[in-house]
Structures are given as C-alpha cells and as structure tokens.
Chains A and B, each alone.
Chain A
Amino acid sequence: MANTTVIGALAIHGQNPQFLVETVIRNRIYESNYWKEHCFALTAESLIDKAIEMRYIGGVYGNQRPTQFLCLVLKLLQIQPEKEILVEYLRADEFKYLRALAAFYIRMTFRAVDVYELLEPLLKDYGKLRLRDMSGYSLTYMDEFVYSLLTEERVCDIILPRLAKRQVLEENGDIGPRKSRLLDALEEVSVLPGEKAEGGVPFGAVERHRMLDPDMCQGVVRDRGLVQDLLSVHAVVASRPTGWK
C-alpha cells in the first residue's frame, strides 16, 4: 500500500523505520497532497528526479505543513534503499538537495561510525541551501547543515537518533582520528621554519584563529569543519608546547 513500509525492510534502531518520524508529523505527511500525488510508488531511481526538483530543505512550515524534503525523507525510510545507493546520492555533488536528503537519511539510519565517515567529508561542501521553517525562508550552507546533523538532536523538526560521541568511538578504536585539513597546512608551515606562521595557513584561518573560543565561534565562523580543526590544533599545541613553533 501507499503508506506501508516495504516488505523485508530491516528494523532500524529496533523499530519500523517510518517510526523515526514522530506520529504527528508522519500523519501530516500522509495527509499532504505532495505525498499522495508525487510520492506514490517512488523507487530509489525515480526519487532522484523529485529530489532534484526540491527548492528548499526544512521541517514543517505554516500550518504545520510538511516540506517536500520531509516527505522524501519519509519515502526513503519507507523504501529503505541499499547503502551503496545512498553513497551514490551523496557523491552527486551538483545536486545539493539530493545530497542534503541523503545526508539526513544517513544520519537517521546508519551506525555512528558510518555516519561520521560519510558525513564528515561534507563539512568541506560550502554550497548554499535554502531552509524553510515556521518563520519563513532563510539561508544556510551544506557544512552548517551537516554540522547540525552531527551535533544537534533536533534538525528539520525531527528528533534524530542518538549518536555516539566521536571521542568515544576513537577511544574504542572504531574510527581513526579525524583528518584535519588545517593540521596538514600547519605541518607544511612547520617544515618551513624561516617563514612566518601565517604564511602557509589557508582560507584566512589566522583571522579565525583569533576567535578560537568556541562560544565566540558560534555564529561568527561559518566553517564548522574548520572550527573543529582549530579546536583540535589548540589541543595539539597545548600538549606539545616546546616541539611546535
């Protein structure tokens, strides 16, 4: 039927995958015209067309109407495509809304290790995204969106499943330490001792270096990945005060 989960779908986080969207919003989606008219019998292949036609992301707007983004998320939960297909969605970098959709689905359904491994590369994507919520449209960026997926517990009006902290996973040895682009750049600097430290740091990172305080970083520095990089650099500097110049 139109609203049932596909037969043979695996339970995610111990339940029907569609239940990851709360009942109220889920019923709103089932009632919405977009769901009935355009999302009927979508497959992982034909869903791409609909995802490309999307013009904004977001949860519910206006009179608690679900966005197309939310409808397609529920559709993905319903048809449960294979992991390779989701990775393929993520790799299509020119279709940013498809990418955002895949990122959201991955965050909702995959294991924590996979989530970190698949989503952290997206922190380098600075593409603009239009966000629609109760208060209207606003502008956000792919890296901000992914950062909020990794750190917040409620994105696009959906409670995300709990995600193990990266630090815990690192201590257990499930994933390696995060590869930081900034650290590479800093290492290049340390190779050239004659030059000033500012010379080799890209992207105006020095400007941002002054705002290392994470509270100050909130809302000032747009580049979430870089903020994390900077914080980790800070830690490195603190641990090796003599070796690093």
Chain B
Amino acid sequence: MADKSGAYGSKASDTDFRKTWDKEEYAERAKKKDQEEKERMQENEERMKQGKRPRKGRRDDLPKPTELMKQREGPLELEKNLGKTMVVQNLSGKGPGQPGFHCETCNRTYKDSVGYLDHINSRAHLRALGQTTKLERSTLAQVQARIAYLREKTKEASSAKAFDFKQRLAEVKAKEVALREQRKAVKRIEKEKARLELIKDTGMNEDGDMAQLMGFGGFGSSKK
C-alpha cells in the first residue's frame, strides 16, 4: 500500500493523540531562563569577588522593609472552622479556597496550623508585609501608662461586678410592685369595659325585642 491511511480512511498516525508543543514559545522561554541564570551567575561572581555570599534563588523585587516587627492585630482564629465540613470551592489546587490555611500576602496554602504559624512568623512573610525582623523597644513611660490603663480597666470591671445586695433587692421589689399595680390597673379597666358592654348589650337587646314585638325594628328599609 502506498498511502498510509487507516481502515476507515483517516489520516491519523499512531502518535497523534499526543500533545503538540509550540516549540518556538518554549525555545523562547528556555532562552530567557538561561539569560536570567547567566545574569545571576555574573552577579554572584561579582559578589564572590567582594567576599559576599552568592545569591541562591531569583531576586524578588520587593521594596526595602520600612516598619519594625509588629504584633498581629486581632486573634488568628485558627480554630474557627474546627469540626466543620466545608465544600472546596477551588479545585485548581492553587490560591484561596483550598482546604487548609491560606496566606493572602504570600499566596500560599498550608495544610496545618503549625506550618501556617511558622510561615506567618517567618522572615519571608514579614518581608512581604514590609517589616524588618527588628523589634521595637518599649520605654518605661509606655510601660507605666499601660499598667495604669489596665489598672483602671480592671477596676471598672470589678466595680461593675460588685453591687449592693440590699439596694438590688429593694430595686427588684419596687419593680415587682410596679408590675403588679400595672396588671391590676389593666384588669380593672377590662372589667369596667366588660361591665359597660354588658349593660349596653342588654339594653340594646331589650329594645330590639320590644321593637320586634311592636312591629318596627331598626331604621333600615322595610322592603324585603
């Protein structure tokens, strides 16, 4: 047979199911990578000459950290979703919505709280936040102010708890009496109303009966 066609006339060859690669694009990428590596090596050579350690990875272009290391604002709430069953929204395997703890700043997901805690305390994460690893030193005045503030706060809390028992009893009693009075008043009004209604009703009914008997009832038309 001269032409290579299949039994059903298709021209597909044996290995056509394989993915075809855009060779040019990948050649471009490889070239770029080589270029970067070359630059890194050159830079490392320079650094070695100056007696510095060579750089291992790519240089990330973050601005210089400006802040000192700061405490986290608010609790981490690591146990927020404890015991919950959740639907995984993101099936791609990257980014938020994966099971585990996600760090938005660094876009990384950790499978457990320990790994996550290690990450958010790490130098890399702090760097991404723009913080150095140096800690602020608090002064004596700050400490004194803090203690004074906490003293006031705890005093308030304790005074809120401590109350005069007798006064509280008296208050409760007064409230009860007032409530009873109110209920009584409501009942009295209702009774009065019922009484009036009864009087009215009986009066009306008597009138009606008499009128019926006499042959005239109401002001409506007599037509049927």
Contacts and interface: CB of A to CB of B under 8 A. Distances in A.
A190 to B, nearest CB: 41
B76 interface: yes
A60 to B, nearest CB: 19
Interface in B110-157: 113-114, 117-118, 121-123, 133-138, 140, 142-144, 146-147, 150-151, 154
Nearest to A48: B146
Contacts of B78: 37
B137 A36 contact: no
B147 A88 contact: yes
Contact of B121 (A2, A43, A84): A2
Contact of A88 (B136, B144, B150, B154): B144
Chain B, interface size category, equals: 20 to 34
B33 interface: no
B70 interface: yes
B118 to A, nearest CB: 7
Interface in A56-77: none
A171 B137 CA distance: 39
B137 A44 contact: yes
A88 B71 contact: no
A1 B71 contact: no
A122 B121 CA distance: 37
Contacts of B69: 41
Interface string A84-100: 11001100101100000
The range of chain A's interface size is 20 to 34
Given A36-B118, A45-B146, A94 B154 contact: yes
A55 to B, nearest CB: 15
A43 B144 contact: no
B72 interface: yes
A79 B136 CA distance: 10
A85 B140 contact: yes
Interface in A198-244: none
B140 A82 contact: yes
A40 B140 contact: no
B121 A49 contact: no
A42 interface: yes
Given A41-B135, A43-B135, A84-B140, A48 B118 contact: no
Nearest to B158: A94
Given A45-B142, A92-B147, A40 B113 contact: no
Interface string B65-85: 000011110001010000000
A89 B123 CA distance: 31
A61 to B, nearest CB: 20
A2 B72 CA distance: 13
Contact of A45 (B114, B117, B143, B151): B143
A10 interface: no
B135 A6 contact: yes
A44 B71 CA distance: 12
Nearest to A79: B135
B141 to A, nearest CB: 10
Contacts of A92: 147, 151
Given A48-B143, A48-B147, A92-B151, A43 B138 contact: yes
Contacts of B133: 1, 4
Interface in A149-185: none
Contacts of A43: 71, 135-138
14 contacts: A1-B122, A2-B122, A4-B133, A33-B114, A40-B72, A43-B135, A44-B142, A45-B146, A48-B143, A79-B135, A81-B143, A82-B140, A84-B140, A95-B150
List the 8 closest pairs (A to B, CB-CB), nearest first. Answer: A45-B138, A36-B117, A2-B121, A43-B138, A44-B138, A41-B71, A45-B142, A84-B140
Interface of B: 69-72, 76, 78, 113-114, 117-118, 121-123, 133-138, 140, 142-144, 146-147, 150-151, 154
